[in-house]
Structure 1
Amino acid sequence: MNAMSALKQYQNVNTQAQASDATPHRLIQMLMEGGLSRLAQARGAVERGQTALKGELIGKAIGIVGGLRAGLNLEQGGEVASNLDSLYEYMMARLVHANVNNEVEPLEEVAGLLRNIKSGWDAISQ
C-alpha cells in the first residue's frame, strides 16, 4: 500500500480526522470509513431528490475508492491485490451507474462490498 497516496486521497475528501498521525493501516481504515459515510449520505441525497449533492457525494466516494485502488501494490500483493484492483474498478463503475441513473441499489451494493473489505482489513493485526 502506498501510504502517501492514501493520505493525499483522504485529505482530498475533506475529513476532520488527524490523518497525519495515523499508521498506514489506520489510513486505509479511515478511507474505508469515509467511503461508507459518503455512500450513506449519497443514498439520502438520492432519496431526497438532491441531485447536485448526490453527484458531489458519489464523486467523493469514487475518489476514495480510487485512492484505495491507487494504494495497492500489485507487484507485492499478488493475487489478493489483483483481485482488489478488479473489485475497486467494478465498484467505481457501479458508482458511476448509480450517479447517471439516480439509483440507490448500486450504492447499497458498493457499500456492502466496501463493508466486507473493511471487515477483513480490520481483522488484520497491526
Structure 2
Amino acid sequence: MAVNPYEQYRRMQVETASQGKLILMLYEGAIKNLHLAQQCMESKNINGAHSSLMKAQRIIQELNITLNMDAGEIAQNLRDLYVYMLERLAKANMQKDRAIVSEVLELLAELKSGWDEIILKKSSRNAPVQVK
C-alpha cells in the first residue's frame, strides 16, 4: 500500500503541533470547508455542499467538546456560540442557504483572529532571545 506523502506530512503537522496551533488548524479547516460549501452551492453541487457543511460542523463540534469549561464565563460563551453556529449550519444545509454560511464564516473569522492574537503573544513570549 503506497503512502501519500501529503497525508503523511499533514499527519506529522498535527502530531507535533502545540495546542494553540491545533486550535488554529481547526478554525482554518472549518473556514476552508465553509468556503467550499458556498462554492458548491453556487455551482448547484448539492452533494459537495452537504459534504463540506458536514465537515465544518464536525470541526465546530470538536472545538466545542474540547473546551475547558473550568475557564469560566469565556468557555461558556464560546460553547453558546459554537452551539449557535451548529444550529445555523444545520439550517444552511437543509436550505442550501449561502447567507447563513456567510454569517457563520464571519463568526469563525472573528474568533480565529482572536486566537491568532493570543497564540502570537504566547509564542513571542516563548521565543528564544537573540543576542547580536
TM (norm. structure 1) is 0.85
Return the match for 1:115 from 109, 114, 120: 109
SS at match of 2:72: helix
Alpha-carbon distance in structure 2 between the residues aligned to 1:71 and 1:104:
28
Quick check: 1:73 aligned with 2:68?
Answer: yes
Runs of 4+ with >2 A deviation = none
Q: Deviation at 1:107?
A: 0.5
Unaligned runs of 5+ in 1: 1-13
Q: Deviation at 1:71?
A: 1.1
Quick check: 1:50 aligned with 2:17?
Answer: no
Percent sequence identity over aligned pairs:
36
Q: Deviation at 1:32?
A: 0.3
Alpha-carbon distance in structure 2 between the residues aligned to 1:102 and 1:31:
23
SS at match of 1:123: helix
Greater RCO (Cα-Cα under 8 Å, separation 6 or more): 1
Return the match for 1:87 from 81, 88, 104: 81
Return the match for 2:17 from 19, 22, 35: 22
Rg (Cα) greater in structure: 2
Alpha-carbon distance in structure 1 between the residues aligned to 2:34 and 2:108:
10
Unaligned runs of 5+ in 2: 1-6, 123-132
Residues paired across the two proteins, number = 111
